[in-house]
Chain A
Amino acid sequence: VNRFGARLITPAVAVSLALASCQPQGAAPPAAPPPASTPPAIAPSSDATIAPPPAGVVPDAPFPTIQKRELDNGLGLYVVERRVHPLIELRLIVRSGSATNDDKPGLAVVAGELLKAGGAGGMSPLQLIEKAESLGTNLDVVTDRDSTRIGLNVTAGHLDAALEILSAVATRPAFLPVEFKKLRDREIERVKSSARGSAAWAASMVLYRELYELPTSVHPYSRYDAMPGELEKLTLADCRAWHAAHFVPSNATLVVVGDVSVDDVLAASHKVFSTWKGTPAPKPSVSNPFPPKERAVYLVDRPGSGQSQIYVGMIGPERKSADWPGLAVANQVLGGGVSGRLFQDVREKRSLAYNTGSSLVEVATGPVALVLSAGTQTAKAQDAVRALLENLELIADRSPTDAEVERARTFLSDSFLFRLETVGSVAELTSNLIVLGLPDDYYDEYRKAVRGIGVQNVAVIAGKNYDRTPIIVVAGDAAVLGPQLAAFGPVAVLNPETGFTLKRSFPKKP
């Protein structure tokens, strides 16, 4: 048993599947089709070049049908029947996440985890977790900016047992005080460890704080995670109040994917969820952040660190913008996977990073974030920042080539097939529709839009969205990096272990 198998296994390339989609036609690269009857043998000693086999016709695979129902109390059901394997994935999605913390960072994470860790449905914490784990599954509560997702998966025949657990956790948590204190302490330990041990965590804390900065109030997306002092102030009463306000049926959707029928799910969830009540949940108010006026560098100090984590970020369009498919293509050209410019240039040409790429950070309300990243040795961090900025400028200024756009379109469209292979992945995609407020036929429409977009259109959308003043965040050894990075803007050196207080600053080098 090695659930940490990746420890000794070192991949050559870290590939991230960007939000993708499927369908054919696209790829028509070089090569003449070989006659099917007499395949040309590859001559071992021949100098003749052998061309790659021609592209085939990619099979169509639309997103599976979502069958929607609603209980009388307003709880939504999204059911996807998929009977190829005797497996069932379940997610209870509550459309409130850390963006609803208000002035209590960490609240949604702690309250969400406490639903499980504090016992529920008349079961002690241990009884509850034993009940779930005896079914083979983990019971996970995942909190992101816009949602709390309680998830588990079981083999066919255990639908009722799984729903009983979900119902107990979501609607009848025990909130044991002693367990609250232990959980809060564990969270404090976790963030202290992250502050010291994780460059990515430390850089993200500052990146989102700066990207979503508001002059007089706190933007709900500006807090990536909580800090120890903030967690210490949380109370059990806060958790109870948050649960009462947000865990209400009209704010929740049950997603079930796999070897089930919609009628079975309806009947079984009626049994365990129909007495759940509550008034509509409050929604966080979101004002658009102001883009920075000048380029600035935030340097999170990690003394002695041999590698710097670099982010170059900016605010983008809303997730529901009509530009989204074009932006996804532009992002793919810039830094998606192994054929994007960042991988090819920053890694394969300039040898500046193992991990580099760009991503679109999706949020439910207001503008998303666009983030370029690289991890680079301290001595070359300045080169890597410059390389990211150069690529950012290029994607905004100069049109992507036909070949780049064609490759990105096909990849985004066709690699979507892999995201339909497992019930877990289909459950995640379905959940994302709910959280982001996208229509049921979104994925098929998105793939169609991606396939149909022209090079000119991509160039226009890239110009519109990437031609912005970026924020630069570097987590690394400030003693070495501070003077170097001042070439890119005024540098603020922050201490991740004291709540990101200002340690010192360097003026912009002329």
Chain B
Amino acid sequence: MNRRSLGFLGGAAGVLFAAAVFAAPPSTSDPRAAASSTSTAAGRDPTVLALERLALSIQRTTLENGLRVVLNTDPSSPTVAVSVTYDVGSRNEGPGQSGFAHLFEHMMFQGSKNVKKGEHFSLISERGGTLNGTTSADRTNYFEAMPSSELALALYLEADRMRWLNVNAENFENQRAVVQEEYRMRVENAPYARGMLRLGEIAFSDYPPYAHSTIGSMEDLARAQLSWVQEFYQRHYAPNNAVLTIAGDFDPDRALELVRQYFGPAERREIPPFKVEPPTTPSPGKREVVEDKNANTPGIGWAYRIPPFRTKEHYALELAALLLADGESSRLYTKLVREQAVLQSVSAWTDDRRGPDEIVLFGVLTEKAKVADVERAFTEAIERLRKTPPHAVELQRVKNRLKHDFAFGLQSNLRRAVKLGEYEVYFGDARLLTRDLQSYLDVTAEDVQRAAAQYLLPELRYVIEVKPAVRAPEVKP
């Protein structure tokens, strides 16, 4: 029932605040008036102000070995988060190696020179911390959230595996099997997942780095070799290919001392630059049907290629996605889910990739609905975006929702550490995160219409229709 799932790493971001008391805007019973401007008579908007303060609380430095360090102090909770973001993701995988960046990420938890198998988990747990790692097309990150007294432990563990990863055949086979179970869970056993993966593949078929999914294929996972682990490690896991982010309650001088102690001796290595230019002419649209035994009703996914994250057009198209399907007041939810009941659920998003990106529309049909009718409605919605600038009230509502996400989204030290690390890796400056809200607020109704008209072209649409697989006939006992 809760449709908006701002997943832990969900995209639009949120941002935290420095500890301070902010002037409250005037209270009013009219939400449109109340939330419609970024400056009020009572003072500056608290979210905008908070982002400015966040920017001031960020320090950046680079060690001699090239490790970039982002420090974000915030004493409001006695905790600290550490994230190491490596500039490597599934976009760096070669042909036949799909899923390997993620499998490698699992190997990073299997022990290093001074940390035996299982110890990474037990050390973090017995000091009251939590941890995880994630892989996307564009980066891989490893993170810990710790009580503020345990910063040194997190740095020790991250440095140890950056410098001396220890793998063996037994661990490798173990984690290959674990990742295969992950694939079964996320893809084989989940409705519409296979269709959505296929949609990404056809949308990026002319751009090899993104033409396969991050989870990869079972065939490629089965083919992966132990020797690839060392090669991949040597190629990508060097201090000069990583960003270390610390966010929370810590003393920056003492933290930097620890960082130098643990990471300083890590040796810089030559990192092959990533350089794959997207084709200049777009590939024609395409349509495929995917059968799905977990789906009870058909699903329909549309994708269009759009410019990279944090370009002017991308900001505008993100707002277009919000207008279409963010919240129950959005255009498609109102019309297709609530009024016409042809969809059970609808979503629209951008992947927010550093390379060429995509905007996706996805709906799950109701039993009575017809795919053709839903696609006609999708077409109408897209054409309306392309021809008519959105109404000011509607545009302001989605901007308010973005602002709200910034305000609430990065309260936690861990979320902030992860986001700042991504921005430093992708765009060379973590502080840009604090300026994004303004970039969204600056988008005009005409910008949205113009970007939609330019990129959401019917002849460049990629479509996946998910068809429920026919049920096997019941066998009588």
> Are the C-beta atoms of B188 and A421 separated by less than 8 Å?
no
> Are the C-beta atoms of A1 and B265 separated by less than 8 Å?
no
**What B residues does A362 contact at CB under 8 A?**
none
> Are the C-beta atoms of A86 and B22 separated by less than 8 Å?
yes
- In the complex, chain A residues 1-26 whose Cβ is within 8 Å of any chain B Cβ: 1-15, 17, 22, 24, 26
The yes or no answer to A41 lying at the interface (CB within 8 A) is yes
Which of B19, B46, B214, B215 has the most chain A CB atoms closer than 10 A to its own CB?
B46
**Shortest CB distance B224–A (Å):** 15
Given contacts A156-B24, A411-B128, A421-B79, contact A193 B134 (CB under 8 A): no
**Shortest CB distance B284–A (Å):** 24
Can you name the residue of chain B whose Cβ is closest to the Cβ of A83?
A: B21
Can you name the residue of chain B whose Cβ is closest to the Cβ of A153?
A: B408
The yes or no answer to A296 lying at the interface (CB within 8 A) is no
Cα(A506)–Cα(B401), bound, Å: 54
Q: Which of A6, A136, A410, A421 is in CB contact (< 8 Å) with B126?
A: A410
Which A residues form the contact surface with B (CB < 8 A)? 1-15, 17, 22, 24, 26-27, 29, 39-44, 49-53, 55-61, 83-87, 109, 113, 117, 125-126, 129-142, 153-161, 164, 182, 185-186, 189-190, 192-193, 195-199, 259, 303-307, 309, 337-339, 343-344, 347-349, 351-355, 375-377, 406-407, 410-411, 413-415, 417-418, 420-424, 503-505
Q: Which of A198, A306, A422 is in CB contact (< 8 Å) with B188?
A: A306
The yes or no answer to B392 lying at the interface (CB within 8 A) is no
> Are the C-beta atoms of A3 and B127 separated by less than 8 Å?
no
> With contacts A133-B327, A156-B25, A351-B177 known, what are 20 further pairs, Cβ within 8 A?
A1-B11, A9-B214, A12-B108, A12-B133, A26-B128, A44-B266, A52-B156, A85-B50, A86-B17, A86-B47, A142-B1, A159-B27, A182-B338, A190-B344, A197-B294, A259-B21, A407-B122, A410-B125, A410-B126, A422-B408
- In the complex, chain B residues 316-362 whose Cβ is within 8 Å of any chain A Cβ: 318, 321-322, 326-329, 334, 337-338, 341, 344, 347, 349-352
**What B residues does A137 contact at CB under 8 A?**
404
Which B residues form the contact surface with A (CB < 8 A)? 1-2, 4-12, 16-17, 19, 21-22, 24-29, 31-32, 34-35, 42, 46-47, 50, 76-79, 102, 105-106, 108-109, 113-115, 117-118, 121-137, 145, 147-150, 152-153, 156-157, 159-160, 163, 173-174, 177-182, 184-186, 188-191, 196, 200, 213-215, 249, 257-258, 261-262, 264-267, 293-297, 318, 321-322, 326-329, 334, 337-338, 341, 344, 347, 349-352, 364, 366-367, 396-397, 400-405, 407-408, 411-414, 468, 471-472, 474, 477
**What B residues does A153 contact at CB under 8 A?**
404, 408
> Are the C-beta atoms of B411 and A422 separated by less than 8 Å?
yes
**What B residues does A43 contact at CB under 8 A?**
265
Cα(A193)–Cα(B344), bound, Å: 10
**Shortest CB distance A254–B (Å):** 18
Please provide the 4 A-B residue pairs with the shortest distance between their CB atoms, ordered closest to farther.
A414-B128, A136-B404, A2-B11, A56-B149
> Are the C-beta atoms of A158 and B77 separated by less than 8 Å?
no
**What A residues does B12 contact at CB under 8 A?**
1-3
Given contacts A86-B17, A307-B184, contact A418 B191 (CB under 8 A): no
**What B residues does A12 contact at CB under 8 A?**
102, 105-106, 108-109, 132-135
Given contacts A3-B326, A134-B32, A189-B297, contact A10 B127 (CB under 8 A): no
> Are the C-beta atoms of A197 and B184 separated by less than 8 Å?
no
> Are the C-beta atoms of A135 and B412 separated by less than 8 Å?
no
> Are the C-beta atoms of A192 and B296 separated by less than 8 Å?
yes
**Shortest CB distance A149–B (Å):** 11
> Are the C-beta atoms of B78 and A59 separated by less than 8 Å?
yes
**Shortest CB distance B448–A (Å):** 13
> Are the C-beta atoms of A161 and B408 separated by less than 8 Å?
no
Cα(A273)–Cα(B396), bound, Å: 30
**What B residues does A15 contact at CB under 8 A?**
130-132
> Are the C-beta atoms of B121 and A339 separated by less than 8 Å?
yes
Cα(A2)–Cα(B419), bound, Å: 13
Q: What are 11 inter-chain pairs, A to B, with CB distance below 8 A? A: A2-B10, A6-B7, A9-B136, A26-B128, A44-B163, A50-B156, A56-B149, A160-B29, A304-B472, A338-B121, A375-B184
Q: Which of A7, A55, A139, A189 is in CB contact (< 8 Å) with B150?
A: A55
> Are the C-beta atoms of A421 and B411 separated by less than 8 Å?
yes
Cα(A447)–Cα(B265), bound, Å: 40
**What B residues does A303 contact at CB under 8 A?**
293, 471-472
> Are the C-beta atoms of A5 and B408 separated by less than 8 Å?
no
Can you name the residue of chain A whose Cβ is closest to the Cβ of B8?
A: A6
Cα(A59)–Cα(B404), bound, Å: 31
